[in-house]
């Protein structure tokens, strides 16, 4: 089976059959999002929304007025040409007053044309401004909502697919605003034109509707299939974005060059992109073919009706003015009906995409603040206690930690030691309430973490992970984000930089604390791994927290720099409760107590000297590492 056939089979399996088999109820249910979209638009800018709607209402009646004035002009011209000429020259016609009515009608038609153009331009301007504002608003709401979700969401591939789809819709649904407004304008124009046409030949309107039904059904079917393909292809699209990133980014450039991975990544991207292209091409070809067939059918119906109107004019029942009015009205109605009915299916199809956006907003966090929160015990006077704590990551059977019980006394420096995957970082995630335990509880001075306000809890904890973020912002902002609620306070930032030894790094930069860091933007200066870590550690000092957690914070520092940082840290953290995770025993031995973790459980506990003397797991690991320096 070819790759495209394999993908099609997998797609059909995942969709429960053919791509178009989306229940009508499901399609209609997604239309509820149009109300939410309008509410979102209205919140974005009431004045612009009202302006866009008002201009379109005025523009909607202009076509009927224009057609009717055109009819009057032709009837007046026919009337005048059927009467004796007042004279051979233009002055004779002007003096007779017989051109007055035509001149007034021409001036009125000209004014209607100008008004229509101004109204259209005004509506387009309002739409474009509103679309940009709406895109910015949705993007901000998306970031705000994502910031409030649980860490488990970000560690789930399914969530990443949903987030990717929501991001695309946040930026890609703006044309729907203009489309909805245009549909409203079309409806009003149709009603006004139909009112005029009903007076002459009401059955023509019914004929128009019947001729467009096949096109509407076809368009609806292909819109749904297109949505299904885009939705079910989210993992493949994320992989394409990932390949684009690692194939052309500063962070990966060295390794890509040294390992000669350029051709490999290009070939992998090409295979994946071609698989997606085959499906898109197949769908686009079918859509174009059936669209052409039904468009030809609709055009044949129109010209049949047009021939009927011509015959009634030749027969003397309609005037030439009636002919132009009816032909123009029928032509405009034909286009508007097609635009309206197909537009409705397109809006219904795009409402399926809106489901990607609003269903993301409907995701609710499970790690939430209590209804009646208790204050964080600042300062910590007694201890942080883990009581029989057990935790499994979502969608896994393996316990990351189990039956975990220990006490971290106030003011104590505790080190966690163990192999990768032993559960050390999981303990930090539980302690910072990025996750809640599945079993047991965690207490601070006798208060359950779940009873403390979430924002206040994290305000009193300073954490630096090994995989900290390197913000493409100024040096001051990179440190200031550690306590963003205080604003970018230069005095506190400088003090934190001096405490973490980042001040020496920043002083060497051309613009000092105003120097943009990283290579993403113009004038940016990149730092070494160790320099970046000193900046990141400064964020922890910015917190002025009761509990400081350093999770492998000095991995990129050499032994001398690490010793400097921790000597400084030990002095500054005096009286504070600290948790340290490190693979370097020269660092760990500074702790008051060390826990050796394996398979989510505590194997050993004690000071460095006690653990070495016990000749257990810690002693073996310490001896193994020490041997490497001999």
Three-class DSSP category at 576: coil
- Shortest CA distance to 525 belongs to which of 538, 544, 546, 510? 510
pLDDT over 60 at 23, yes or no? no
Both structure tokens of 469: 């973020």
CA angle 437, 439, 442 (to 5 degrees): 55
Per-residue burial over 348-383, b = 16 or more CB atoms within 10 Å of its CB, e = otherwise: bbbbbbbbbbbebeebeeeeebeeebeebbeebeeb
pLDDT of the residue at 14: 36
- Confirm or reject CATH 1.20.1560.10 for domain 10-361, answering yes or no: yes
pLDDT of the residue at 565: 65
- Shortest CA distance to 195 belongs to which of 345, 362, 68, 313? 68
pLDDT of the residue at 541: 81
For 285: left if phi > 0, alpha if psi spans -120 to 50, otherwise beta; the answer is alpha
pLDDT over 80 at 132, yes or no? yes
pLDDT band at 259 (very low <50, low <70, confident <90, very high): low
Counts for the chain of helices (H) and strands (E), in that order: 24, 10
pLDDT of the residue at 251: 64
pLDDT of the residue at 18: 37
- The span from the CA of 27 to the CA of 359, in Å, is 14
Task: Return the CA Rg of the chain.
Answer: 36
This model's pTM is above 0.75: no
pLDDT of the residue at 556: 59
Give the position of tokens 């690692």. 246
- The span from the CA of 444 to the CA of 448, in Å, is 6
- Shortest CA distance to 438 belongs to which of 384, 401, 385? 401
Pairing of strands 413-417, 577-581: parallel
Mean per-residue pLDDT, 572-578: 76
**Least confident residue range of 88-92, 341-345, 397-401, 626-630:** 626-630
CA angle 75, 76, 78 (to 5 degrees): 65
Say whether 380-460+547-630 and 10-361 share the same fold: no
Mean per-residue pLDDT, 257-278: 78
CB 540 within 8 A of CB 548: yes
pLDDT over 50 at 162, yes or no? yes
pLDDT over 90 at 192, yes or no? no
pLDDT of the residue at 561: 67
- The span from the CA of 136 to the CA of 23, in Å, is 33
Q: Per CATH, which fold does 380-460+547-630 belong to? A: Rossmann fold (3.40.50)
- Shortest CA distance to 506 belongs to which of 537, 479, 475? 475
- List, for residues 309-320, the tens digit of each pLDDT value: 777 778 777 777
Q: Strands of 601-606's sheet, edge to edge? A: 461-464, 547-551, 577-581, 413-417, 593-598, 601-606
pLDDT band at 416 (very low <50, low <70, confident <90, very high): very high
Is omega for the bond preceding 316 within 30 degrees of 0, making it cis? no
pLDDT band at 178 (very low <50, low <70, confident <90, very high): confident
Q: Per CATH, which fold does 469-544 belong to? A: Rossmann fold (3.40.50)
- List, for residues 507-565, the tens digit of each pLDDT value: 999 999 999 998 877 788 888 877 888 888 888 888 778 888 888 766 656 666 666 66
Taking each helix axis from N to C end, the angle separating 3-15 and 203-232, rounded to the nearest 10 degrees, works out to 110
Mean pLDDT of the chain: 79
CB 568 within 8 A of CB 502: no
pLDDT of the residue at 291: 74
Domain chopping of the chain, boundaries: 10-361, 380-460+547-630, 469-544
Give the position of tokens 């010793």. 563
CB 40 within 8 A of CB 131: no
Q: 203 vs 208, 209, 304, 353, 379, CA distance in Å?
A: 9, 10, 13, 37, 83
Give the position of tokens 């099609």. 8
Strands (E), 456-592: 461-464, 547-551, 577-581
- List, for residues 376-400, the tens digit of each pLDDT value: 988 889 999 999 999 999 888 899 9
- The span from the CA of 22 to the CA of 24, in Å, is 6
- The span from the CA of 597 to the CA of 568, in Å, is 27
CB 98 within 8 A of CB 86: yes
Mean per-residue pLDDT, 409-431: 90
- List, for residues 454-513, the tens digit of each pLDDT value: 888 888 888 877 778 888 889 999 998 888 776 778 889 999 899 888 999 999 999 999
pLDDT over 70 at 20, yes or no? no
- The span from the CA of 622 to the CA of 588, in Å, is 10
- The span from the CA of 237 to the CA of 165, in Å, is 10
- The span from the CA of 180 to the CA of 187, in Å, is 11
Q: Which span out of 277-291, 431-445, 513-527 was modeled with the highest average pLDDT?
A: 431-445
Q: What are phi and psi of 480, to 5 degrees?
A: -60, -25
pLDDT band at 426 (very low <50, low <70, confident <90, very high): very high
pLDDT over 60 at 26, yes or no? no
pLDDT of the residue at 438: 93
Q: Which residues pair with 579 in a beta bridge?
A: 414, 549
- List, for residues 57-110, the tens digit of each pLDDT value: 888 888 888 888 888 888 888 888 778 887 777 787 778 888 888 889 989 989
pLDDT of the residue at 61: 86
Mean per-residue pLDDT, 604-625: 89
User: Which percentage of the chain shows pLDDT scores above 70?
Assistant: 81
pLDDT over 60 at 9, yes or no? no
The beta-carbon contacts of 39-45 under 8 Å, at least 24 apart in sequence, are: 40/134, 40/137, 40/138, 41/130, 41/134, 41/177, 43/137, 44/130, 44/133, 44/134, 44/137, 45/129, 45/130, 45/133
DSSP state for residue 577 in the 8-state scheme: E
- The span from the CA of 355 to the CA of 297, in Å, is 34
């Amino acid at each position: 089976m070819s790759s495209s056939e394999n993908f099609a089979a997998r797609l059909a399996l995942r969709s429960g059959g053919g791509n178009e088999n989306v229940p009508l109820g499901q399609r209609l249910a997604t239309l509820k999002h149009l109300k939410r979209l309008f509410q979102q638009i209205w919140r974005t800018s009431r004045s612009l929304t009202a302006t866009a709607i008002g201009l379109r209402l005025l523009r909607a009646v202009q076509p009927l007025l224009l057609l009717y004035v055109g009819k009057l002009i032709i009837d007046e011209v026919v009337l005048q040409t059927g009467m004796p000429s007042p004279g051979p020259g233009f002055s004779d016609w002007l003096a007779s007053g017989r051109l007055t009515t035509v001149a007034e009608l021409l001036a009125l038609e000209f004014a209607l044309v100008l008004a229509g153009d101004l109204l259209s331009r005004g509506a387009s301007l309002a739409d474009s401004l509103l679309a940009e504002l709406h895109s910015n608003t949705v993007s901000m709401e998306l970031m705000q909502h994502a910031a409030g979700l649980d860490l488990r969401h970000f560690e789930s591939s399914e969530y990443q697919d949903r987030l990717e789809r929501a991001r695309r819709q946040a930026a890609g649904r703006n044309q729907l605003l203009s489309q909805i407004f245009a549909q409203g304008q079309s409806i009003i124009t149709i009603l006004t034109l139909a009112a005029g046409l009903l007076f002459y030949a009401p059955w023509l309107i019914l004929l128009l509707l019947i001729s467009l039904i096949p096109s509407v059904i076809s368009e609806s079917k292909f819109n749904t299939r297109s949505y299904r393909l885009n939705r079910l292809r989210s993992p493949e699209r994320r992989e394409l974005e990932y390949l684009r990133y690692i194939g052309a980014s500063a962070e990966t450039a060295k390794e890509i060059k040294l390992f000669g991975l350029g051709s490999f990544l290009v070939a992998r991207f090409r295979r994946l992109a071609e698989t997606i292209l085959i499906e898109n091409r197949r769908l686009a070809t079918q859509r174009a073919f059936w669209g052409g067939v039904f468009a030809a059918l609709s055009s044949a119906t129109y010209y049949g009706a047009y021939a009927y109107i011509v015959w009634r004019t030749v027969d003397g029942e309609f005037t030439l003015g009636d002919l132009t009015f009816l032909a123009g009205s029928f032509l405009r109605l034909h286009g508007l009906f097609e635009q309206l009915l197909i537009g409705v299916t397109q809006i219904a199809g795009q409402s399926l995409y809106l489901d990607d956006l609003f269903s993301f907003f409907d995701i609710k966090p499970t790690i939430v603040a209590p209804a009646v929160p208790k204050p964080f015990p600042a300062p910590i006077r007694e201890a942080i206690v883990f009581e029989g704590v057990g935790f499994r990551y979502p969608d896994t059977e393996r316990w990351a930690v189990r039956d975990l019980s220990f006490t971290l006394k106030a003011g104590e420096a505790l080190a966690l030691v163990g192999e990768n995957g032993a559960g050390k970082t999981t303990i930090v995630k539980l302690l910072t309430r990025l996750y809640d335990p599945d079993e047991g509880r965690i207490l601070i001075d006798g208060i359950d973490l779940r009873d403390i306000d979430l924002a206040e809890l994290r305000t009193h904890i300073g954490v630096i992970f090994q995989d900290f973020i390197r913000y493409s912002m100024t040096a001051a902002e990179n440190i200031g984000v550690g306590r963003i609620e205080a604003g970018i306070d230069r005095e506190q930032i400088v003090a934190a930089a001096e405490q973490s030894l980042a001040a020496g790094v920043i002083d060497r930069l051309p613009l000092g604390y105003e120097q943009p860091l990283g290579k993403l933007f113009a004038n940016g200066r990149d730092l070494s791994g160790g320099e970046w870590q000193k900046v990141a550690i400064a964020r922890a000092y910015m917190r002025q927290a009761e509990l400081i957690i350093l999770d492998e914070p000095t991995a990129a520092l050499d032994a001398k720099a690490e010793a400097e940082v921790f000597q400084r840290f030990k002095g500054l953290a005096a009286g504070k409760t600290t948790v340290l995770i490190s693979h370097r025993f020269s660092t760990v031995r500074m702790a008051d107590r060390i826990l050796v973790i394996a398979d989510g459980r505590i194997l050993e506990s004690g000071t460095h000297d006690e653990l070495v003397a016990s000749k257990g797991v810690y002693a073996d690991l310490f001896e193994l590492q020490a041997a490497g320096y001999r």
